[in-house]
Structure 1
Amino acid sequence: MNTMEKCKVMVAVLIYSHSMILCWSHAKSAPKLLVISFDGFRWDYLDKTDTPNFDRIANNGVRAKWVKDSFLTVTFPNHYTIATGLHVESHGIVGNVFYDPVFDEIFNMSSPRSLNDSRFWGGEPVWITNELQGGTSGVYYWPGCGANIKGIRPTHCVNIVDITNSSLNMWKHRTDTVIGWLSDLENDVNLAMLYFGEPDVSGHRYGPNAPEIVQKIQLCDAITDITEELFKNLSAIDPVHYKVWLKKDIPPEYHYSNNRRISSIFMQANEGWGIRENWNDPRYKMGRHGYNNSLMNMHVFFLATGPSFKEGFLSEPFELIDIYSLMCYILEIKPAPNNGSFDAVRQLLRDERPMNYEDYNSKMFRVNISIWEGICIGVICNATMLIYLLKRMKKGYLKLPVMPNSNRIHVDKKITERTLWDNRI
């Protein structure tokens, strides 16, 4: 806390079922934003045990009833949706594992090659938007930070290595690293994003209602193309407990069809049911997500506090894609093209003004004017000095330096034009 006080930052928190987002903003100088993700943190987990720190944030700031995930409701697509404000079909991370038929390659969330391959990562994540507009970003384990996007990466990036490591020492190290970024006045990081793999790992291992989940919540508080015949066969197996769609028939409200990486047949189990390759596989996961994003158990929660936010306010639900424009608003940067709506989240703010691009353009115009004023003054000063030096040289008061073993130009007060001298001079 001492480090935070030295930074003079206020704390704001956004939490979603795959993540908790913690936002810091500075009231008097350039705003700072910290986004923390606790993976697999369902919207109602706050009610499973005492969470005094989360409660304090909610009481001092804002909390949403819940937040609607993107479809599919799994880790990588939703984390990258937060970062870009884009639907899954738009940014292209359509699953934790998927096949790209053009690249003829499989993306795998456990593969360092996939994590660093910029071809897979579409859109413009907020850390790149921030860098392009003069900010400094630090990203720890957030999906996508290791890829070069628009030719750059965040200034600080610790790429994903082992998301299952939930030891207290490792968590403390990550937290200390990110706090260090924000408190280092020389680096002047104004956006930091941090990911933790719990309680997602424990939820898969023990189930969402197991006692182990409560322990993790407390710790968080501290592919191929398939034929029509196969589609018909799959559809007939158990139409009561799961649905099968051809890609072209996936409901448009899912925003999960307009991307080549989405397979030609899509299967989705009803809540409480699962699909597995081998029913005897001992690695079968318990508390699953990935179900339809209209289900309450797939919804997420949101908390935020700081000088930008109202106090003790309970907002109506909004969607995950809307968080991106809120982050840009706090950072005072212009959003890249995205699918979200700032109007959906401005209810959270003390000042409910819409995101005004005219104000932004006016601000950038003033900044550009200041830059051009500086350039013009510098050009005038340099031109004046150059003219002065040339006049002094013409009158013979100055001589150009003589370089050994080369032809030289000598200016003498008795000589009115340049004369090449040989090496004997």
Structure 2
Amino acid sequence: MMLKKIVLYGLLSVLLLITITSCGSSSNIGTSYPTVNSEASLHKPYVLLISLDGFRWDYVEKYKPQHLSNFIKNGVSAESLISAFPSKTFPNHYSIATGMYPENHGILSNIFYSNKKNKVYSIRNRETVTDGDFYGGTPIWMLADRNKMVTASYFFVGSDVEIRGVRPTYSKDYDGKIKNETRVSQVLDWLALPKKQRPHLITMYFSDMDDTGHRYGPNNESEIKKALFNLDENLGDLFAGVKATGLPVNIIIVSDHGMAAMSTANLIPIETIQNDSLFLAIDNGSMVNIHPKDGVEIDAVFEYLKQNEGHYEVYKTEDTPGFEYLPKNKDWGAFQLIPDPGYYFSNEKNMMLLKQNNISTIGVHGFDSENKDMHGIFYANGPAFKKEYTIPSFQNIDIYPLICEILGFEIPNNIDGTISNVQDALNPDND
């Protein structure tokens, strides 16, 4: 049925354009964005960047889903994809989108305090999530915009935000209830648009493996396999639909982080640490940022925290293990609390709910890349890539220059990623 539908796309492209550009408040197409590809962009290849949130590096090898396995066999795979620290969803998606470490693009974690705005950014607060002032760097769709290329996104961190006045040409405000089938159909609709309006860069997002991993833990084989195989069917439909277009589409599949099993008996209640008279504590589970209050001596805060250590260590931010660089962004705070191996910060309400529901194991992430459970995936297939080829693990900041290389963009000199780490994945015979 999917392939029959695809055949009709070319005949209905004009109607689809009308539908897409008038589909209501959940979509975006603005006059400030390029709604028509430049002449140069018309001759560029296509890139479809797919994020599978929380997809651990070893899931495919362990469970062998049909469509992803075939995709990998005919393309390039990395041994793993290394997340930036902390290995959380928002900072790592935005690192993929900008080629920068969280330190430099500004989205430090899922929750952090902004000194500039005197406000706590939280992924649960839609007001802060959609405030473009928090987002630094140049997202790949913004770079495409500067190159007069039409872009689209069906959910990707930062794509539903006005960042210095720019969003993708076509985009959706995040709604986790939207079914995967709807997302797949929309991407195929975008690829069926007339060539002048057709996006050459598309990003999309699926949360299935993250949702399942958190709820059941990554070692619950029956639940992980069920979620993986359902997602694999959606991806199979997407692959078939893209192939049927006949377009030179390069599909890149990534994840933001992996997942580790955590005993609920080893959760540390943040309430035992908080002291509102001395400091602001920002809890991200795998680390707690400590911001001393104005007028409070920093050394006094450090001594207070050291005296109360329990299954965690207190570090001055510049001495904190896990960072790939010397952290200097003051939004980290003066100190970091890092849980001991096998422990994680939470709150008493959440811990009580887990106990009431007899949940003994959950899935968590956020730890540094020394823990390979935190590693994600990189799979790529299309004319720009080699076939049946494996490359070593690399950092997710290198995906940005890779996309630049494929689309013929000049790679910005202020990013942290480098093309040399992934150059070997590219097909040298592809022009």
Q: Distance in 1 between matches of 2:78 and 2:44?
A: 26
Mark the CA change 1:192 to 1:92 in structure 2 (over 3 Å): closer, same or farther.
same
Normalising by the residue count of structure 1, what TM-score does the alignment of the two structures yield? 0.72
C-alpha distance in structure 2 between counterparts of 1:180 and 1:283, whole Å = 42
Query: Aligned runs of 1:212-361 on 2, under 5 Å?
Result: 212-222=223-233, 223-224=280-281, 225-226=291-292, 227-238=298-309, 241-251=311-321, 253-255=323-325, 257-278=327-348, 280-282=351-353, 286-336=362-412, 337-351=414-428
Measure, in 2, the Cα distance between the counterparts of 1:323 and 1:61: 16
SS in 2 for 1:245: strand
Q: Secondary structure at the match of 2:174?
A: coil
Q: Using a 3 Å threshold, how does the CA distance of structure 1 residues 41 and 93 change in structure 2: closer, same or farther?
A: same
Point out the structure with max Rg over C-alpha: 1
2:201 aligns with one of 183, 191, 215: 191
Is the Cα contact below 8 Å between 1:38 and 1:199 reproduced in 2?
A: yes
Contact 2:318 2:326 in 1 (8 A): no
> In the alignment, is residue 175 of structure 1 matched against residue 184 of structure 2?
yes
- The whole-number CA distance in structure 2 between the counterparts of 1:213 and 1:270 is 26
Gap regions ≥5 residues in structure 1: 9-27, 354-358, 360-425
Question: Which one-letter code corresponds to 1:269 in the other structure?
Answer: P
For the 8 Å contact 1:142–1:193, the answer to whether it is kept is: yes
Distance in 1, matches of 2:389 and 2:427, equals 10
TM-superposed CA distance for 1:195, in Å, is 1.0
Opposite residue 246 of structure 1, the aligned amino acid is K
CA change 1:304–1:237 in 2 (3 A) is same
Task: List alignment gaps of at least 5 residues for structure 2.
Answer: 11-41, 234-279, 282-290, 293-297, 356-360
1:313–1:270 distance in 2 versus 1, CA, 3 Å: farther
TM-score (norm 2): 0.71
| Change beyond 3 A, Cα 1:111–1:280 | closer
Aligned to 2:163: 149
Give the residue type in structure 1 aligned to 2:224: I
Offset of 1:283 from its aligned partner?
5.3
**1:141 shift after superposition:** 1.5
Change (3 A) 1:323 1:237: same
Question: Quick one: higher RCO (CA 8 Å, sep 6+), 1 or 2?
Answer: 2
AA paired with 2:130?
Answer: N
Identity of aligned residues (%): 30
* Distance 1:253-1:4 versus aligned 2 partners, 3 A rule: farther
Letter in 2 for 1:310: K
Shift of the 4–268 alpha-carbon distance from structure 1 to 2, 3 Å rule, reads farther
8 Å CA contact 2:85, 2:323 repeated in 1:
no
Matched length: 329
User: Contact (CA 8 Å) 1:271, 1:291: kept in 2 or not?
Assistant: no
Matches within 5 A, 1:10-409: 29-162=43-176, 165=177, 170-185=179-194, 186-210=196-220, 211-222=222-233, 223-224=280-281, 225-226=291-292, 227-238=298-309, 241-251=311-321, 253-255=323-325, 257-278=327-348, 280-282=351-353, 286-336=362-412, 337-351=414-428
Quote the Cα distance in structure 1 between the aligned partners of 2:304 and 2:188: 54
